[in-house]
Structure 1
């Protein structure tokens, strides 16, 4: 506006610049709403009231978390066993196997020792001495031979339950492998995408600097300068959005491997 007052800037240039500024301000409004919603969700997940984390996490100058230079996979089988769904499916399978053993035991007789406990002392003062205890016992044989049909049915039902648990376990393992592989591929591709976006930003910033020099020299218009500024700003926004997506992909990768947040890798 000062340049227009001096007669060195056209009205159309001022209006285009004003439009760019107001467009940027308008884009911040839904972003602020998303930030508030995310902070409230984080507070609830940590067992706190909505708004409890606003002061700690809403700093406008807080940098994005730093990701490790590489992700150590190690033994995928050992890592997948740390997943809660794999552990739960494994325990259900073990429980089903144990139930089969319990029902198979019903095929065999059970021996119970029955008897009477008495005292042989004549003097009440010697009543509770060890040598005055008497034990009369006999084994009791219990065998439900007529219930073999019921036992066989119970065993078969337990085996069917075991087969179902085994199928569910295999399904959980295969699903975990697919989840881990997909997360790993997505994370790797997103890293390459961020590198490409960073190169675009570098070129856009350089073009803006060159156009600024041309504008100051009087060989480029304000429209040309605004275009390069808008392109540089758009490239910067794309890099930030790509980095945020990369962080989410890293979290998904760690989750798929049953790990937590790790930034100590080189």
Structure 2
């Protein structure tokens, strides 16, 4: 529109109808009225406002393009961050699963040794506590991994659809 304001503009107006002082003569041939008009507007002496407006519109277009570029880069950055976080959390979950399995085996062995009287009850309780702590750490890590996955879906623009019956 800023470029279009440099060129002349043309306006054509037309009007037609009926006009009468008496209602019975309203639709007679003598009662018809019509008018037409035209207008030409040529931007000659604008004092640089057209050029200023054009430059302002170009600057606004550049600002919008830069804002879009920033939005895209931010989205890509967030997606990369959450993808990396999810990958790290998933690796930690796998490591903790192995650790938990080792504590579970240790607990089974300690329980067997306790039942045979080879270890004290305190050692057996410590083994149980270590197993419970590894379970808790695994649960926290799995929660963190799932939250990272959710944030990754969100960063990628994933839709949130609710399951309704």
TM-score by length of 1: 0.55
Moved over 4 A (4+): 114-118, 120-123, 128-132
1:12 corresponds in structure 2 to none
Q: CA, structure 1 residues 219+182, in 2 after alignment: closer, same or farther (shift >3 Å)?
A: same
Q: CA, structure 1 residues 218+104, in 2 after alignment: closer, same or farther (shift >3 Å)?
A: same
Residue among 127, 130, 136 paired with 2:26: 127
Matches within 5 A, 1:1-266: 102-114=1-13, 117=16, 119=18, 124-128=23-27, 132-147=31-46, 149-260=48-159
Contact 1:113 1:138 in 2 (8 A): yes
TM superposition shift of 1:131: 9.2
Any unmatched runs of 5+ in structure 1? 1-101
Corresponding residue SS for 2:119: coil
Q: Distance in 2 between matches of 1:228 and 1:261?
A: 43
Report the aligned-residue RMSD. Answer: 2.5
Q: CA, structure 1 residues 189+129, in 2 after alignment: closer, same or farther (shift >3 Å)?
A: farther
* Count of equivalent residues: 161
Q: Distance in 1 between matches of 2:128 and 2:28?
A: 102
Corresponding residue SS for 2:59: helix
Q: Mark the structure with the bigger radius of gyration.
A: 2
